[in-house]
Amino acid sequence: MTKKRVLAAMSGGVDSSAAVKLLLDKGYEVAGATMHLYNNEDIGIREKNCCSLNDVEDARLVALKLGIDFHVFNFSDEFKMRVMDDFVNTYLSGGTPNPCIECNKHLKFGRFLERAELLGFDYIATGHYVTSHYDEASGRWLLKRSADRAKDQSYVLYGMTQHQLAHTIFPVGDMNKTDIRALAEENGLINAHKRDSQDICFIPDGDYAKFITEAAGEQPAGDIVLSDGTVLGKHRGLIHYTVGQRRGVGVSYSEPLFVTSKDMAQNKLIMGTAEQLCSKTLTAGEVNFITVDKLTSPLKCTAQTRYHQQDVPCTVFQIDENTVKVEFDKPHKAISKGQAVVFYDGEYVVGGGKIL
């Protein structure tokens, strides 16, 4: 019997490295590949060394240690257009982007899977903390939360298609981080104790506003106002603020105020009370469903509107092929345009979309 061939997406981190070892132990024929996603100049770094190059080298050394072939795919043009430019444009239109979701949709499970299939691989594998399986009853592939809820990454994978799920393996999805590091250490992998990356990969210093300013120029200052139009002060450019923000706005009032919205047309930052920050409904576009093709009737489920947020009860109504309306059972806090809303049935991902 011919061994099934798997191309593992190796980021240079311990999760994807452990995934390779687990696949080898299960008898798969494995090769590794790292995506080269940006050049130093694209992210404002002028030195020759940068995190991306170090990560490629770490992945290469792990592949060498485990005795597998290793490739580097240059997807930098597509990453700039699909992820970096989208990040800037979403902020400039008043939204709060989630670049990991766009990267997963267009790069990891888009271009990377296409390249793997072109090279004759049966599957790709990643180090994401989720699990998947084929459900005979519905005839569909399902995506399930990780057993390690603190590490669960299902929120950023709601966009996966049936084809992508059928051709992707998540070897570490039912493990916890301690066991993964122990596995890496036992097998002498150099990144066994490498710290997890916390920041957006193309903004290593975490200064989003500087990155957007370098890409789009200085943004004009404007008024900070209450919902009734009362002027409270001046803002430094709307890209410096996010919906739900309380600290660092620079205004004082008789009760705590939060950023409730951004009026891009009039360049105003709208402030309000905790109560005004909550909303009972939202509309989402670019909708993708995993458990069904589309909704034929209103769906009672739970939803998350931010990464690692507790999901809350709601009802989802399909408006058209790409759009849904979500009604929450109770007013929901700090819903941000540009973020994802992801629907769950227990531990399973029903689907999701981008908040409009």
Per annotation, catalytic residue among 103, 278, 301, 314 = 103
Residue whose structure tokens are 């106002």: 225
Q: Do the annotations mark residue 11 as ligand-binding?
A: yes
Q: DSSP per residue over 135-191, as a string?
A: ETTTTEEEEEE-SSTTT--GGGGTT--HHHHHTEE-TTTTS-HHHHHHHHHHTT-TT
**Which of 298-303's residues contact partners 24+ apart within 8 Å by CB, and which partners?**
299/343, 299/350, 301/343, 301/344, 301/345, 301/350, 302/343, 302/344, 302/345, 303/328, 303/341, 303/342, 303/343, 303/344
Known catalytic residue at 201: yes
| C-alpha span between 253 and 276 (Å, rounded) | 15
Tokens of 92: 């400039």
Question: What's the count of helices (H) and strands (E) in the chain, helices before strands?
Answer: 9, 17
* Other residues' Cβ atoms within 10 Å of the Cβ of residue 259: 22
Is 9 labelled as part of a ligand binding site? Answer: yes
Q: Annotation-wise, does 35 bind a ligand?
A: yes
Residue 15, marked binder: yes
Q: Is 33 annotated as a binding residue?
A: no
CB atoms within 10 A of CB 283: 15
Q: Are 259 and 242 in contact (CB under 8 A)?
A: yes
Q: For the residues of 219-264, what is the DSSP string, one character each?
A: PPPEEEEETT--EEEEES-GGG--TT--TTS----SS--EEEEEET
Residue of 100, 201, 301, 314 marked active site: 201
Q: Which residues are annotated as a binding site for ATP?
A: 9-16, 35, 127
Report, as residue numbers or ranges, the catalytic residues: 103, 201
Q: Which residues are annotated as a binding site?
A: 9-16, 35, 127
